[in-house]
């Protein structure tokens, strides 16, 4: 009876299948390159290992026993499984597998989204079987998720002071100070410092971004984390606030928004590709990061 299978057992089982497919010991000599006596000895060894006869060989010709028939079916199934395992294991060797979780900042420009789509296209042309998850979140939330290693990569504007993160600059966007129809500054093309200082500005919780804003008014009775909320405050005609120029453009075209005091009151925000330095990246994450950098025309 066979316990564990060894290479010798597999060799003997292959010989057994060849003998059966050739129709007997004599016919199998040429196929196996062995003498009839050698084949007979190895078949006897297999029968000893198994503990039962596999075939009859005499004047009546070669014929499998019922147990030999069962072993033939089992052996063919075994070799099919081995071959399937070989193909699958070889396929996994060069294939990217797993999951990549990517955070994206809100209200990205259409051109930026097209570059992210280009990165996905490049990645999908690789030999891969990867689930990609895109998560839209605010900068503070993305930093928290990166710290918790619930994101692999994040694209957004960050404080760049987190020693736990690696940052790669990707692109920049221009932020303008806007007001809406009905606001005192809407028809004032050159507001003085006092008018600006006394205007009610929309505040947001990102001190690192706020410090870059050229307007530092002391009056702020409105607060919003998201650009949609900032836009709503500005459209009320009672507040001014900073918005990405690409986001505000359609509202400007309708005559509902106006940039105040540009370019003096405008500034640039740099977006980065961030990842946790202590997180050991998998092959799929490294490949996706490479494709993101390529899509933004940056070297890996």
Tell me the per-residue pLDDT of 130-171, one tens digit each, with 9 for 90 and over.
999 999 998 889 999 999 989 999 999 887 777 889 999 999
Asked if 113 and 196 sit in the same domain, the reply is no
* CATH number of the domain enclosing 43: 1.10.10.10
Judged against a pLDDT cut of 80, whether residue 3 lies above it is answered with: no
Asked if 162 and 276 sit in the same domain, the reply is yes
pLDDT at 161: 73
pLDDT at 133: 97
pLDDT above 70 coverage of the chain, percent = 93
Q: Do 62 and 24 touch, CB atoms closer than 8 A?
A: yes
* CATH number of the domain enclosing 185: 3.40.190.290
Average pLDDT over residues 233-256: 95
Q: Which domain holds residue 237?
A: 174-267
* CATH number of the domain enclosing 290: 3.40.190.10
- b/e burial code for range 276-289 (CB count within 10 A of at least 16 → b): beebeebebbebbb
Asked if 101 and 74 sit in the same domain, the reply is no
Asked if 11 and 85 sit in the same domain, the reply is yes
Q: Do 241 and 122 touch, CB atoms closer than 8 A?
A: no
Domain contains 248: yes
Please give the residue that has the higher pLDDT: either 195 or 244: 244
Judged against a pLDDT cut of 70, whether residue 91 lies above it is answered with: no
Domain contains 300: no
Asked if 166 and 201 sit in the same domain, the reply is no
Domain count, the chain: 3
Domain contains 138: yes
The model carries a pTM of 0.68
Domain contains 1: no
Domain contains 221: yes
Beta pairing class for 202-203 and 267-276:
unpaired
102 band by pLDDT with thresholds 50, 70 and 90: very high
Our separate counts of H helices and E strands in the chain read: 11, 11
Domain contains 287: yes
Average pLDDT over residues 111-139: 95
Angle CA 171–142–223, to nearest 5: 90
Asked if 161 and 274 sit in the same domain, the reply is yes
Domain contains 2: no
């Amino acid at each position: 009876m066979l316990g564990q299978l060894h290479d010798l057992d597999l060799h003997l089982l292959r010989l057994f299948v060849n003998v059966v497919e050739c129709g007997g010991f004599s016919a199998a000599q040429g196929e196996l390159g062995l003498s009839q006596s050698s084949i007979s000895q190895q078949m006897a060894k297999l029968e000893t290992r198994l503990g039962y006869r596999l075939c009859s060989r005499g004047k009546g010709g070669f014929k499998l026993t019922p147990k030999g028939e069962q072993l033939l079916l089992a052996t063919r199934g075994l070799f099919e499984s081995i071959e399937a395992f070989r193909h699958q294991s070889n396929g996994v060797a060069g294939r990217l597998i797993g999951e990549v979780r990517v955070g994206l900042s809100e209200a990205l420009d259409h051109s930026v989204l097209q570059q992210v789509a280009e990165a996905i296209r490049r990645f999908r042309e690789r030999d891969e079987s990867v689930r990609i998850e895109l998560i839209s979140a605010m900068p503070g939330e993305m930093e928290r998720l990166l710290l918790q290693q619930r994101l692999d990569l994040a694209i957004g504007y960050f404080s760049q002071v987190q020693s736990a993160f690696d940052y790669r600059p990707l692109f920049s966007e221009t932020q303008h100070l806007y007001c809406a129809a009905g606001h005192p500054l809407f028809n004032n093309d050159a507001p003085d410092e006092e008018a600006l200082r006394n205007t009610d500005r929309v505040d947001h919780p990102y001190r690192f971004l706020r410090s870059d804003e050229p307007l530092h008014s002391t009056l702020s009775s409105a607060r919003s984390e998201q650009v949609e909320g900032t836009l709503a405050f500005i459209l009320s005609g009672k507040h001014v606030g900073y918005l990405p120029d690409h986001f505000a453009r359609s509202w400007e075209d309708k005559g509902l928004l106006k940039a105040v005091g540009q370019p003096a009151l405008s500034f640039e925000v740099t977006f980065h590709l961030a990842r946790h330095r202590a997180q050991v990246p998998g092959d799929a994450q490294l490949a996706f990061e490479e494709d993101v950098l390529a899509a933004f025309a940056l070297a890996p």
